[in-house]
Amino acid sequence: MSETLHLPESGTKQEVYAAILPQIEAVMAGVDDLVANLANIAAILKQAFDFHWVGFYRTAAPGLLMLGPFQGPLACVSIPFDKGVCGAAARLKETQIVDDVEAFPGHIACSSLSRSEIVVPLVHQGETKLVLDVDSDKLRDFDSIDRDWLERVVSLIETQHFAR
C-alpha cells in the first residue's frame, strides 16, 4: 500500500467513505500495532473530510477514557464514562450523534469551535475498548451515513485488534 490517499475529486460523503474504507483496510493490513493503526485512521479521516477534530479515546481503566491518536486541536486527556459525549457512547455502548453540542448536557468543550459531534464506541465482549470521536465546526454535520461508515471503520479495528 502506498502512503498516498486516493480521494474522489468531487462526490458525496457516501462516495468519499466508500473510497477510503478499502484504503483504511489496506493501510491496516499486516500492522499489529493498535496505536499505529488508530493514528493512520485519524489521519485518513482528517484528510478525507477535514473534520475539525478526529481521533480516539481508549479505555484505560474501568470507567475511564484516555486520549489516543488524533488529528486536530489540543484535546482533553481523560474523560470519565459519566462525562461528555464520549463518556455517553462508552457507557451506553451506542453511537451518539449530537447535532448541537451546546444543547448536550455535560458536553466537554475541548474546543470552542466544535458545534456537532459523533462518537462511535468499539464494544467487544460487552466492554467498551475505545471510542472514535469526530467533531465538526458546523451544526448538524453528522447523520446516519456517517454513523454507518464510521461504525464500519470501528468494526475493522475490532476484527483486527480485539476479535482474536
Q: Which residues bind ligand SME (CB under 6 A)?
A: 53, 75-76, 79, 84-87, 107-108, 110, 114, 117, 133, 135
For the bound state, the minimum distance from the C-beta of residue 75 to ligand SME, rounded and expressed in Å, comes to: 4
Nearer to ligand SME, 23 or 114 (CB): 114
For the bound state, the minimum distance from the C-beta of residue 120 to ligand SME, rounded and expressed in Å, comes to: 12
Distance, CA of 69 to CA of 39 (rounded, Å): 5
For the bound state, the minimum distance from the C-beta of residue 10 to ligand SME, rounded and expressed in Å, comes to: 29
* SS3 track for 26-93: HHHCCCCCHHHHHHHHHHHHHHHHCCCEEEEEEEEECCEEEEEEEECCCCCCEEECCCHHHHHHHHHC
The answer to whether the beta carbons of residues 74 and 55 sit under 8 Å apart is no
Name the DSSP class of 163.
-
Count of CA atoms in the C-beta half-sphere (13 A) of 18: 8
Minimal CB distance residue for ligand SME = 84
For the bound state, the minimum distance from the C-beta of residue 39 to ligand SME, rounded and expressed in Å, comes to: 15
For the bound state, the minimum distance from the C-beta of residue 4 to ligand SME, rounded and expressed in Å, comes to: 27
Nearer to ligand SME, 26 or 139 (CB): 139
Nearer to ligand SME, 117 or 141 (CB): 117
Nearest to 113 by CA among 135, 133, 143, 97: 135
